Amino acid sequence: MKFLFKFFLVLVFLVVMVAVALISFKPITLENKVLTPMQVAAAKSSLQRLLTELRSESEVISLVMYQSELDALSDLAAHTINNASFENYVSGSIYTSAISYNLSQLIDFSHKDLYLNAYCSMEQQAEKFIIEHCKLGSILLPHFIAEPLVLGTLKRAMKPKPAQLVQMLFEQIQVKTSSLTLTTERPPLLVQLVKDSFKSLKQQATDIAVGKRFNAKKFYDYVTLLERNKANSEELSYYVGLVFQEARSNLIAQPSLSAASENRHALWALASYFGNSKFAKIAGLNIPPDSKPLQTPVVHGRKDLTLHFLYSAILEQLGGQQIGLNIGEIKELYDANEGGSGYSFPDLAADKAGLSFSQFVVYNEQQARQAQQMLAGIKDESVFFPMVDQLPEGLSATQFKDELGNKHSIEYKLIEQAIDDRIRRLPLYQ
């Protein structure tokens, strides 16, 4: 017994020591810039150029990633992932990638911020590009530990051939003045390997987010219900009422069923049928090819608001409410660039409404049952969707900057607060 007690004390001591070594009171990264429409456009352009080059069938791969693009991608990542800041920079022959994650929402330590810091420093040597060292908190991982650890993690996340290919391409990266370059002969079957890798990673992420929570027959029953009634209305509210009436009827017929599960199937059927059939594939399901809506139903007479609502509902299911909102804001910032539809607060209201709706109807059994009672058979969109009148839209990047500054300004926050208040007062959440 004394031995077990001593062993427990030693274990606790080791855990505390590791925690102290990992956690810091200061971040190692600089604070990321407030995301602007131009940064979103730059990040999207960089990603598109990267994917286009990887998918190309030319004999040679030729890629350049400039420091300005690395900065834009870092800012985009920080905007997408809350409490995280990223820094990627080139200095001489060294490329460093760093992250600081604020743990304050997970650990309350005397009202002080705690950070989990990590970085890897990569260097171009005579023969190849290598991971020179990494650091996790204050724990230094030298080359002979860091590189096998990173590459080993890569091999576990990907299939063997794609992992070997990524390692081979990584080793041929060159560091030049304020840029990373890759020029090499294109490996055989690269395009297919890239596609297979993305598909595998997407499936792994989906399995984590969605899991095995879907019953194919139940999902198809809801899709069939929508298909049978697709000519009955042009309003989204009618179809929301239709599927939640079915969910409630199923629960009345079989009280042992889970209301949250019924609502989840109803929501995914609604979004997959009217929003995008690829949503069904994410959940490992398929929309029958002959099941197609006559048109996208409307909210406040607008189809775009319906799509924002449904897409955001699925984003919340996959990544949570905050990530879904961040992605919605990124999309609006991109639209503010020349050629886009402009920054739209009605669109943002639809995003927020979809996120709140998705979270509420499946959060727990009590709320799921409440949602069924409120939504079953409705035809009034004001039950679950806010008014969007007097909300600014169509703002160009210049107008957005002149009138609002950025998404952290008081002016922006006041409009956002008005949207949140409208959603909070909706009958569904009373």
List, for residues 60-95, the tens digit of each pLDDT value: 888 888 898 888 888 888 877 778 889 998 988 899
Residue 160 confidence (pLDDT): 76
Residue from 199, 229, 216, 209 nearest 379 by CA? 229
pTM equals: 0.72
pLDDT (mean) for 222-227:
94
Average pLDDT over residues 196-214: 59
Instruction: State the sign of the Cα–Cα–Cα–Cα dihedral 176, 177, 180, 181.
Output: negative
- 283-318: pLDDT as tens digits: 778 888 888 898 999 999 999 999 999 988 888 887
Give the C-alpha separation, 282 to 265, whole Å: 13
pLDDT tens-place string over residues 3-31: 565 666 666 666 666 666 778 888 888 77
8 A C-beta contact, residue 311 and residue 274: no
Largest CA distance in the chain: 75
What pLDDT score does 426 carry? 95
Distance of alpha carbon 60 from alpha carbon 48, whole angstroms: 18
Mean pLDDT of the chain: 83
Q: Which of residues 341 and 284 earns the better pLDDT score?
A: 284
Nearest residue to 273 via CA among 206, 226, 214, 218: 226
- Cα–Cα dist 318/285, whole Å: 15
Lowest mean pLDDT among 28-42, 163-177, 178-192, 246-260: 28-42
Give the pLDDT of residue 287.
Answer: 85
Reported as type and span, the H/E element at residue 343 is: none
Q: pLDDT tens digits for 114-147?
A: 888 999 999 988 788 999 999 988 888 898 888 8
How remote is the C-alpha of 246 from its chain's centroid?
30
Domain extent listing, the chain:
22-209, 216-429
Kindly indicate the confidence band of residue 327, based on its pLDDT and cuts at 50, 70 and 90: low
Report the distance separating Cα 349 and Cα 385, nearest Å.
9
Highest mean pLDDT among 105-114, 193-202, 392-401: 392-401
Residue 302: beta bridge partners? 299
The closest alpha carbon to 266, from 289, 241, 285, 284, belongs to 241
Provide the percentage of residues in the chain whose pLDDT is more than 90.
33
Model confidence at 382, pLDDT cuts 50, 70, 90, reads very high
- Strands (E) in 33-79, as ranges, are 60-66
Secondary structure of 214-229 as H, E, C letters: CCHHHHHHHHHHHHHC
Q: How do residues 179-193 score in pLDDT, each as one tens digit?
A: 899 888 887 766 666
Sequence letter at residue 412: Y
Q: How confident is the model at residue 338 (pLDDT cuts 50, 70, 90)?
A: low
Given this model, what pLDDT does residue 360 score? 93
Cα–Cα distance for residue pair 413/241, rounded to 1 Å? 33
pLDDT of residue 370: 93
DSSP secondary structure letter of residue 104: T
Helices assigned H by DSSP within 158-291: 160-171, 190-209, 216-228, 236-253, 259-274, 278-282
3-state secondary structure of 297: coil
C-alpha–C-alpha distance, residues 87 and 106, integer Å: 23
Mean pLDDT across 34-46: 73
* pLDDT score recorded for residue 17: 67
Average confidence (pLDDT) over 32-57? 75
Radius of gyration of the chain (CA): 25
C-alpha closest to that of 32 among 80, 85, 77: 85
Give yes or no for residue 169 having a pLDDT over 70: yes
143 backbone dihedrals φ, ψ, rounded to 5°: -50, -45
Split at pLDDT 50, 70, 90, the class of 32 is low
Look at residue 12 in the predicted model and tell me its pLDDT: 65
